[in-house]
Structure 1
């Protein structure tokens, strides 16, 4: 495994392999600012999401010696080609290290023992995980990680920790929830300390209670570590409070992943359209036009301020101010993609005051 002492900023690095074990390497490489290319016929959903977001390039094919041309560094983490890749790298004078394929080592001192920890990793910045969450993550034997969890946190796992990609890409490949529940139970019964690492807070639109219930019904001890939700963090990081004295004293957080007129939707959009409370919508990009139209028809002023925050708490964060009437149009104009948070209400129009300039010496 490569050392973080290498100066990789802006340098081309090629990673061979697309299994979840590669995520640890990618997490460390992302810290360095390297220009990363992944070469693999198939990759796990988290790597696919990173490629779609432009965080790395992915060549969906088998490796070739020419992949090493111009590379400054390489990592081989494939099921069977590591030796051949290392030999090709040696001939081309490219520094290459093998992937970490070692078996799980013995538990470190203070190991929690068999069980499961459900940890909210926060909205995107790895520094926003709680101290308790980071402590338990570093002790994990197995980590089931979601796409929205900060993958940089995987760089600090102990040697030999197993990584399972539990990513659920919107409207794409999904891992059935009962399968995830089964993995948690099976790994814990095998004597491992398992961490379920989830973006945001595990109990806010995160299926956390389902996973806890599955474990407790199987007799598996579970620890729940709350996390910072993007529902509150995204507006704050954009300089917007969801409540403000004299403006609004209430906030409603809803999921917009279902169309507002779909039978399975449990959100009373008509009632929300008649209120003046701050409305925070998560997972609402796909149905934003139908949602805003319904809110306006129900009584919300079309000129109500609105805010869009995409990729909150990451280096890719983007923020746009809009109105309820123009929210869908602005999403199209700026090509907004998930994950994004919408804030609708009077506070969304507030401007963060700039600090006064320091007096000249």
Structure 2
């Protein structure tokens, strides 16, 4: 039998691996991610990396928390980049571990640029995107031939110098999958309604996908702010709006739920 470690490239000292940890359940880690956990000297991880994933770190590895959570004290991105460079220059095997995929709202691109500018060699290991996995495991396809041939991935928190045109996104008619949007749902929903999206457009929110804290809420676009205000939609959550969100109801009676039992 082929050893799984032989399927990954060597993790050389003085290099950084930017790795996606997936949505939470360790079973959704890639082989490359598992091998990186087994080899890294230092693991710099985000708030959305599940503790079960970190349990696969090799004995003696140093774990450094560098998480960002809305409304709470968070690590500054510049400091994180500088820390990665410092550790690599010290000859460490540095694993930068991010929830989901590092290049989908994970600031992996910013860290890649910083490492490149500093002359530090790095490798990028994609992960299972939380936005798509949270839906798929509960029977919500990102695309369906009879409903949509495109899907929009959007963050609820734009950069300080950027603005998201929710009215324009609504006019595309494509389903919208929201990351980090719970606190911004009132303004997002207002913009989508102003763009012509119907208030009864199906919507679904998945909190803590694939973890023991998982919960699901199904509703419509217009009730999303109220559901969030009442605490029924909690952060971190993935929110999908559009025809695809109604698909789960057609198959749920025969769908084997992933991991913990989902709240109905």
- Please report the TM-score for the alignment, with normalisation by the length of structure 2: 0.88
Q: 2:220 aligns with which of 319, 323, 343?
A: 323
Q: Is the 8 A contact 1:232 1:242 kept in 2?
A: yes
Q: What is the alpha-carbon distance in structure 2 between the residues aligned to residue 202 and residue 352 of structure 1? A: 33
Name which one, 1 or 2, has greater alpha-carbon Rg. Answer: 1
Partner of 2:206: 309
**Which residue of structure 1 aligns with residue 35 of structure 2?**
135
Secondary structure, aligned partner of 2:176: strand
Is contact 1:145-1:165 (8 Å) kept?
Answer: yes
The superposition leaves residues 182-239 of structure 1 with CA deviations (integer Å, 9 ceiling, x where unpaired) of 1111111111100000000000111101111111222211010001111101111222
> 1:291 offset after TM fit, Å?
1.0
Could you say which residue in structure 2 is the equivalent of 1:220?
Answer: 120
The counterpart of 2:67, out of the listed 167, 172, 176, is 167
Shift of 1:263: 7.1
Question: Structure 2 matches for 1:159-308, cutoff 5 A?
Answer: 159-258=59-158, 264-308=161-205
Q: Supply the distance in 2 between the matched residues of 1:189 and 1:206 (Cα, whole angstroms).
A: 23
SS across alignment from 1:273 = helix
Contact 1:239-1:352 at 8 Å conserved across structures: no
Aligned to 1:112: 12
Residue 147 (structure 1) aligned to one of 47, 59, 71: 47
* 2:222 alignment partner, SS class: coil
CA-atom RMSD in angstroms = 1.7
Tell me, in whole angstroms, the C-alpha distance in 2 between the residues paired with 1:243 and 1:197: 28
Matched residue, 1:346: 243
Q: CA deviation at 1:111?
A: 5.3
Aligned residues: 244
Go from structure 1 to structure 2 and tell me whether the alpha carbon gap of 1:154 and 1:328 turns closer, same or farther (over 3 Å shift): same
Partner of 1:336: 233
Which stretch of structure 1 is more off in the superposition, 305-314 or 326-335? 326-335
Q: CA deviation at 1:243?
A: 1.1
- Following superposition, the deviation at residue 159 of structure 1 comes to 2.1
**Cα distance, 1:352–1:194 mapped onto 2, change above 3 Å:** farther
How far apart in 1 are the matches of 2:221 and 2:172?
14
Q: Show CA shifts across 1:86-141 (max 9, x none).
A: xxxxxxxxxxxxxxxxxxxxxxxx65322100000001112111111110121000
CA distance in 2, matches of 1:132, 1:171: 33
- Structure 2 SS opposite 1:188: helix
Normalised by the length of structure 1, the TM-score is 0.65
Instruction: Deviation per CA, 1:45-66: give whole Å up to 9, x if none.
Output: xxxxxxxxxxxxxxxxxxxxxx
For CA contacts below 8 A with separation 6 or more, give which structure has more relative contact order. Answer: 2
Q: Deviations over 1:275-298 (max 9, x none)?
A: 211111111111101211121111
Structure 1: gaps (5+ residues): 1-109, 357-361
SS in 1 for 2:209: coil
